[in-house]
Amino acid sequence: MSDLRIEGLTIALRDARGLRPIVRDVSLHVPSGTSVALVGESGAGKSMTACAVLRLLPTEQAVITGGRIEFDGVDLLALPEEQMRTYRGAKIAMIFQEPSSALDPVLSVGAQVMEGVEAHFGRRGARERAMEAMRRVELPPEIFRRYPHQLSGGQRQRVLIASALAPGPSLLIADEPTSGLDVTVQAQIMDLLYRLQRELRMSLLLITHNLGLVAQRTETVYVMRRGEIVESGPTLDVFRAPKHPYTQTLLRMAPTL
């Protein structure tokens, strides 16, 4: 089971003038084992929504002011922080949007993949689990001892995916997992995520600007604009016959579809 249900989520940013809502009444469902896309203009609130699931908002100024986030029926927003930690990484993993800052430059990548495993399962078997995750993402074993700067962008992205997968999460949230990579590597990384999602029976919440990938790889799509979901539905239905003017514009501007 790995059912994520966001209901009426509202997030506000505190500034000099008070609270300014940046995510408004967002409801979104990722049923067990499915892949769901969240798309929309830059600044729409996609990353904020995703970060809220793990209760890791990127700034102290951002506060969740309303709504519910349920994972397998558990109200995540109501959990004590200590219990929340058992969800983060272990049950729900996230690949963050800024890959360059996600890896520690002074630790070997193997050690970093192991760290996440150890945090949840202790030292025993952590190395094997980490190696297994790196094998799954098709990184050769010698990469284990290398440092982030010795890898290509695509390899670093695979390391991030390996880190996310190593603890065996049942939901993966991938926020722009291929940004900054060239198109062929983007396609390889997405193929990999797609295959792993199926093999490991994970749910996937994919945030991306690449509508081609959304069309090929996801069952349901949510379209977000200015903090709100303006349209959602089965991906092919929405792409064939978008109802909201914003979705129509978005799709018109993606000529490759």
Ligand X SMILES: Nc1ncnc2c1ncn2[C@@H]1O[C@H](COP(=O)(O)OP(=O)(O)OP(=O)(O)O)[C@@H](O)[C@H]1O
CB count in 10 Å sphere of residue 93? 25
Q: Please report whether residue 47 would count as binding Mg ion according to CB under 5 A.
A: yes
**Integer Cα distance of 76 and 67 in angstroms:** 11
Per the DSSP assignment, residues forming a β-bridge with 206 are 37, 174
Burial grade of 92 (CB within 10 A; 0-12, 13-18, 19 or more)? buried
Question: What is the x/- site pattern for ligand X, positions 67-106, by CB under 6 A?
Answer: ------------------------------x---------
Is 232 near Mg ion (CB under 5 A)? no
Determine if 256 is a binding residue for ligand X (CB under 6 A): no
> Residue 78 and residue 195: Cα distance in Å, rounded?
34
97/218 with CB nearer Mg ion: 97
Rank residues 39 and 139 by Cβ distance to ligand X and give the closer one: 39
Of 96 and 144, the one with the shorter C-beta distance to ligand X is 96
Pick from 37, 48, 206, 215 the residue near ligand X by CB under 6 A.
Answer: 48
Piece in contact with ligand X (CB under 6 A), picked from 37-45, 70-78, 143-151, 186-194: 37-45
Q: What amino acid occupies position 52?
A: A
H or E element that contains 14: strand 4-15
CB of 47 to ligand X, least distance (A): 3
Question: Residue 58 or residue 141: which is nearer to ligand X going by CB?
Answer: 58
Alpha helices in 78-148 (DSSP H): 81-87, 99-102, 109-121, 126-136
Nearest residue to 20 via CA among 53, 54, 41, 43: 43
Nearer to Mg ion, 34 or 47 (CB): 47
Contact status: 52 vs ligand X (CB under 6 A): no
Shortest spacing between CB 127 and ligand X, in angstroms = 35
How far apart are alpha carbons 44 and 8 in whole angstroms? 16
Distance CA 55, CA 87 (A): 10
**Rounded Cα distance, 44 and 94, in Å:** 19
- C-alpha to C-alpha distance for 20 and 78, rounded to whole angstroms: 23
Choose, by CB under 6 A, the member of 8, 31, 43, 140 that binds ligand X.
43
53 binds, among ligand X, Mg ion, none (CB under 5 to 8 A by kind): none
Of 46, 120, 158, 225, which one interacts with ligand X (CB under 6 A)? 46
Is 58 a residue that touches ligand X (CB under 6 A)? yes
Q: At 20, list the tokens.
A: 């300014």
Tell me if 47 contacts ligand X by CB under 6 A. Answer: yes
Using CB under 6 A as the binding rule, whether residue 24 contacts ligand X is answered as no
Which residues make up the interface to ligand X (CB under 6 A)? 13, 22, 42-48, 58-59, 61, 97
